[in-house]
């Protein structure tokens, strides 16, 4: 039992250490090898690929789902609402370790793939 609890403590301690590492990476704003498409598939597709929860859909022919948002608010504001969350979308979509710059790159990818 003693060994087990030592192990669990080690596992708990590992969490803040690894997130401190992530914070270091975030200073670089967009990390090397950041792949907007892969991040979109991992963190945004669940809602934006299907329109779940009323999410504007991404993919060829869906430009009209985005046009009113772009016309009304502009790119900066929709990136900002991605960072803070909007309606039923949680802050940062589901890309919790993305920087605002990385989220912007994903949003640009989403808009380009919806033309
Ligand atoms: C849990 C479902 C969900 C996930 C995951 C999700 N979104 Fe959304 N997203 C939504 C919904 C719903 C809306 C519409 C919200 C509204 O207008 O009330 C939305 C709206 C947006 C908008 C338009 C914001 C605006 O101001 O009009 C952008 C841009 C966006 N999402 C980007 C992303 C990105 C990038 C990701 C992944 C990192 C992501 N979303 C992940 C549900 C989701």
pLDDT digits (tens, 9 = 90+) for 31-85: 888 999 999 999 999 999 999 999 999 999 999 999 999 999 999 999 999 999 9
Tell me if 93 CB under 6 Å of ligand 1.
yes
Q: pLDDT band at 26, cuts 50/70/90?
A: very low
The whole-model pTM stands at 0.81
pLDDT digits (tens, 9 = 90+) for 8-21: 554 554 544 444 44
Choice from 47, 87, 108 to test ligand 1 binding pocket (greatest atom count within 8 A of CB): 47
Residue 51 φ/ψ, nearest 5 degrees? 80, 15
Tell me if 24 CB under 6 Å of ligand 1.
no
- Which atom of ligand 1 is closest in space to residue 93's alpha carbon? 41
CA distance 30 to 98: 8
- Which atom of ligand 1 is closest in space to residue 78's alpha carbon? 26
Of 88, 58, 59, 84, give the one whose Cα is nearest residue 73: 84
Q: pLDDT band at 30, cuts 50/70/90?
A: confident
CA distance 103 to 82: 7
CATH of domain 33-112: 1.10.760.10
Q: What is the DSSP string of 72-94?
A: HH-HHHHHHHHHH-BTTBPTTTT
């Amino acid at each position: 039992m003693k060994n087990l609890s030592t192990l669990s403590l080690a596992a708990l301690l590992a969490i803040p250490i690894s997130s401190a590492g992530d914070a270091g990476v975030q200073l670089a704003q967009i990390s090397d090898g950041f792949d907007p498409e892969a991040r979109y598939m991992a963190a945004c597709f669940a809602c934006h690929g299907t329109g779940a929860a009323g999410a504007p859909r991404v993919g060829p022919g869906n430009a009209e789902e985005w046009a009113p948002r772009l016309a009304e608010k502009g790119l900066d504001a929709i990136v900002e609402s991605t960072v803070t969350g909007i309606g039923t979308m949680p802050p940062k979509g589901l890309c919790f370790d993305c920087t605002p710059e990385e989220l912007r790159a994903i949003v640009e990818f989403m808009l380009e793939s919806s033309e």
